[in-house]
Every structure is written in structure tokens, then in C-alpha cells.
Structure 1
Amino acid sequence: MNIHPEFPYQLYLVISEKDCPGKNFLKVAEEAIIGGVDLIQLREKTVPTKDFLQKALDLMEITEKYNIPLIINDNAEVAEKSGASGIHVGNSDRSPCSLRKIPFFRNKIIGYSIEYLSQLENQQTKASDYLGISPIFSTETKKDTVTEWGPEGLSLIRSITDKPLVAIGNINMENAEMIMQAGANSLAVVSAICSAENPQKAAYQIKNKILK
């Protein structure tokens, strides 16, 4: 099960309105939580900050109802103004070290995307609470990535660091167990839940694979 004491959130939903075609993304989020999602990241890359903030506030009504942390992707202003539980950043975003200097983020969750092995040695990794290993398998929902890690790459990273590892990239019910066995502490899922006919059932099935 690989529960990490510093990051016990094993099923991590990454959601945006665009990832939920034909559905209300707030309803998808609530169904996913009922199905077993432990943490949600709101990723809105293309909307203005004002709209991103409103979506975060709307989603927070649901996450707070179920006592689920809400992580904001890339946008420090939205994270701070919404009072989110934390932020996830990549190499082209505000760095974890710079975020830690902002009073709001001192005790918040900060996730950091790993695209190169050399990042494991830097100060940004030390300042982060968990590492996003992205992508495990290439995916249509995220095209701006560098390395496709695969289970072997994930195992290598696991052997180098004891930081919590969140695996993302084309993860679904079929490969969830294998990726956990390769060393992930948490699985970040997008399409396998957001595009599912029944998001609650999809989350439940993936969670069961994690708990095996």
C-alpha cells in the first residue's frame, strides 16, 4: 500500500472543466471523493485568473465538506486567495524555495514535478512535500513533458529519494497496481476518472487496486 506518513493521500484526482467533457466538473469531483479520492488538484491552464479563482472557491465548498485537501496547479495567487491546502509547480513555474518565503505557503503542501533525475539533488526538491513523477506514460492531457519515466524510471527515483512520490500520466485501473509496486505512494488520475461514465465507480475501482 506504500502509505507515506508525510503524504497519506493515495488517490489523487487532477481535474479541470476541460477534462470533464459533457459533465459538471464539480459533480465529477464530488462523485470521485465518494468513490475514494483522497486529494484533488485543480488544473486550469487556459482560463483567466479570475475564473480560475471562482472555480477553486466553488470546488472548495465540496472538498471542505468531505475534509479533502485542495491543491492548486501553478497559480500562487489562486492558491492564496482561495485558501487552498497547497500548490503544485513544475520547472517553469514559481519555485518551491521562492514559495516557502511567502508567509501563506510556509506551512502549506507544495508539490514539485520531476522531469530530470538531476532535480532530485536540488534545493527545490528539499523544499517540497511531495514529488510528482510526470509522466509515467505519455498522455493527451499533458503534452508539455520531457521524460516518459515508465515503472522502471519510477523505481529508480524511489531508490534515490525517500520523498513521497505521486505518479501521473495515463494511470488507470489496469496499471494502478503495477505502478504502486514500482514505488509510488500515490496515483494521480485524470481521464480514468474524469472521462468515466461513472466517476464514483471508477475512483472506487482504482482505490481498490491501490489498497491491494
Structure 2
Amino acid sequence: TSVEYLDLLNSPDTKFNNITVYYDGLNHYASFNIETQPPEQLPLTGEHIGCDINSNKNGWLVTSEGQNEFFDVDHDNQMIKHINRLMSKCRNMSRRWKKLEKRLQKWYNKRTNQLNDYIEKLTYNLVKKYDTIVFEENYSTIKILIGGEENMMFPLSRFIKRLKDKFQLYKPEADGVQFVKAHNTSRRCHHCGYINKELKVKTRNWKCRKCGKILDRDTNAAINILNRWFNGDSLK
């Protein structure tokens, strides 16, 4: 537990509403619901960014500034697979099986904690730097690869919700999270507006036939997403 968190719990201005105790398969935890003084507001920066969410291995999120976001838990995934294979060779509920089950639960918990920590830090840093973060409206329907695992889902809805929560908490006067229509964001050249109707899904870079610009598919889409918001095409 951090010193800052202990100070918050011990503050005379903190009011405890309720405490929830839960069990993750290995340990018991206490969750505190408290009321305290609102945090210091973050200053407006005048910066805005478009975000393209992807289901490929080039980063699950690419921004209009060309930044790629990765969440790598490949080692954790490999360990989970390894332990599952060992358990399949053991007699169910045997002493060795139970020891492996505890090891497996530790890896699951570690992966979950890493993901939660990653989302909290990333959303705070984005809100601190930008006043507006723009996405396509269909973000919740895209399957994200985590560490190359097709059967894992990145919690996009929770990521968006945490962004909204942090804007409300730290920058209530900012435009915050905005959405635009997704039509042709990858196919439209952000330089000249030409639409490449022949662009294939697996094509990561393409050359505009009208202006000759070489475009990164994902960065181009993110720029178009931001431009649509600038043009007043945001969805209410």
C-alpha cells in the first residue's frame, strides 16, 4: 500500500461509505468506498488527439501523432499455457494438481493486475496531455490481441469509461472523449481527401494516387478521425 493512499485513508476529511471484502482464489482483499476532497484540477493544454483502435499486432491503439500502444503479457500467457499443460497430465485434485492450480491462479492474478495498472496509468497520462480524445463510434466491436492471443479481449469499454471518469474528475471543462463515424477513415488520404476503394485490410502502407503521399494505414485513420471532430462531425 502506498504512503499516499494510507494518508488519504487516515485523513480527517475522508468519509467511509462501505468496505467490500473479496477473494481472488488465493488472497482476501478489502475494497474501500470513500468520499474525500476532490483532486487538484489538471490545466487545459489546448491539445487534441485522434485514436485508431486496431486488431493487429502493430499496436492496439495508434494516435494521430503516430504513437503506437502495446500491452505485452506474452510471458504471462506462455506460463499459463505451460501450467495448464502440466495440470492436464495430473490426476484431478491430486496434491500436485492443487499446487499447480495455485501457481496458475497467481499468473492469472498477475496478468489482471498488470492490465488494470496499465489502463489506469495510460488513461491518466492521456487526460493530462490532451483536452480532447477522439475515437470511432464502433470501438466496442473490435477484438484486440493481447500478446498475440486471439482468445483474449482488451477491455475497451472499461478503457473508454476510465478516460471519461478521469476527464470528469480532473478536467471537467475539457471536451473529453468524443466519437465520430468510422466510414472510410482508413481509405481516405488525410492530405487531399482521395478515397482508395481498393485498399485491402492487410495493407499497412499505401500510396495516394492523387497526391503521391505514402500513408501508414493506422496513423492516417487516426488523423482522419481527429479531422472529423475538428470539422464538427462528432456524434452526440
TM-score class normalised by the smaller sequence: under 0.3
TM-score (norm 1): 0.28
User: Max radius of gyration: which structure?
Assistant: 2
TM-score (norm 2): 0.26
